[in-house]
Each structure stands twice: as structure tokens, then as C-alpha cells.
Amino acid sequence: MICATSRTGSTYLCQLLASTRLLGNPREYFNGGGQRRRNDPAYPDDRRAQLDIIRTRGATGNGIYAVKVLGPQLPREGDIDPFRDLPNLSLVRIRRADVLGQAISLARARQTGRIHRHRSAAGTPAYDAAAIRHGLRSIERQEAVWDAALAQLEMQPLPITYEDIVADPQAVVDRIAAHLGLAIPVKIEQAVVTHTMQRDGQSAEWRERFLADTGDQFRHLANR
């Protein structure tokens, strides 16, 4: 299970893992609405059906399955417990050390509707300090969901960062493979990876402007 928050490079990581054909086919299988829009118009909202899909569609031929979960998607209803109901589960927690950059990316994505680089933007992003603050609060809430959920478990997640993936995607994939007990290297097939990390000069401009507007309040995030 990839334990993720918004704008951490988790979709790119999912494609990297799937490209190996050995590390599962991770998608947001607990996001029924998203799956219906993007992949399967008949995708179910029933949590037990989603668990079955994770174990089947989410698996590669060697039996390893994978699922990406954002904090708000984590099932917490009735008798459903993915940590119990998904067998032989291992956890990977992906975060972004540069939380301010993450919040800026989230603010831009919300303005434009452009979650991934290959999608066209629905609008032009405009600097908005309030939107960046909102992004910071949203990220804090998402991380708190994972902190609370993981604190109740005996298993420890493998920590991965956005910055790790940017620096060396193959090394990250090999760390995950080793965490699952596979022999490494487990090679990425770049030809089938369509996602890339979204970074440009506008985000840097927004960062400097936000820090100037907010004084010392977020200065501790400036050099991450």
C-alpha cells in the first residue's frame, strides 16, 4: 500500500512500479468516483468489491498487488479495515520534504484542474496566498490521517520522498522491491511511463512572493 498525500509524485511512482511488471499495478482503487471517470464507468463503490479488485486487477503475475491511498480515501466504515483485510500487506509512505512546494503545487492544480502534466489545463493559474495557505492546511490534515492510522499498527512503512524520486527513480523502485523481498535490480520500463514530475519557474516565483507576503511565519519552509 502506497500511503500518500496530494502532490508528492505518487502517481509517477505508481507508473514506475507498474512498469516493472513485478511490483503490482497501483491505482487509487478506493477512489470509486475517480476510477469511474478515468478507467471504468462501472467501477463499484462497495468496499469489499474494491478489496477484491486490489487483489486481482492490482496484482502482477507474481502475485504482488498494490494500491495507492490518499488519506481521505482510507476506508474507515463498518467492518472494513484494509490493513487487516489485505493479506501480507507492506506499506510505503511517500511524503514531500518541501511542504511549501507541495502546497504551491496543490494550489496550482486546484486552480487549473491540471492534476498531471499530460492533461490540459482548464484555467490559468494566478498567485493566491490564501490558496497556498489552504494547501498547507490540507496537507497537514492529510498527513494527520496517516499519522493516526499508522500509529495503531505494528508494521512500519518504508519512507520515500518526492525528492528521492526526482533524484533517482530507479533507486526508489529498488528500495521498494527489496522491502518486498525481491532480488534487485527490478528494472523500470521507461517506454511505458507517461507521467513526469511537474516543476517550472512559476512555482519558484510564487514561493518567493509567498515568503515575502507572510514574513517569518513560513520562513522555516524556505530552504527545504
Q: Which amino acid is at 132?
A: I
- pLDDT (tens digit per residue) in 33-83: 999 999 999 999 999 999 999 999 999 999 999 999 998 898 776 788 999
pLDDT value, residue 118: 46
> Which pTM value belongs to this model?
0.90
| Average pLDDT over every residue of 141-158 | 94
Measured distance CA(88)–CA(66) in Å, rounded: 11
Which three-class secondary structure state does DSSP give residue 122?
coil
pLDDT at 24 over 90: yes
The pair phi, psi for residue 43, each rounded to 5°, is: -60, 135
Strands lying side by side in the sheet with 68-70:
68-70, 2-4, 92-95, 158-161
Q: Smallest Cα–Cα separation from 25: which of 73, 65, 70? A: 65
- pLDDT (tens digit per residue) in 156-197: 999 999 999 999 999 999 999 999 999 999 999 999 999 877
| Average pLDDT over every residue of 12-41 | 96
| Average pLDDT over every residue of 13-41 | 96
CA distances to 75, 134, 185, 194 from 197, rounded to whole Å, are: 28, 22, 23, 10
Q: Smallest Cα–Cα separation from 76: which of 49, 47, 54? A: 47
Share of the chain above pLDDT 90, in %: 78
Domain ranges, ordered by start, for the chain: 2-221
Measured distance CA(119)–CA(82) in Å, rounded: 31
Q: What's the CATH number for 2-221? A: 3.40.50.300
Segment holding 174, helix H or strand E: helix 169-179
Measured distance CA(193)–CA(195) in Å, rounded: 6
| Average pLDDT over every residue of 86-103 | 96
pLDDT value, residue 222: 60
Residue 59 near residue 53, CB atoms below 8 Å? no
pLDDT at 212 over 80: yes
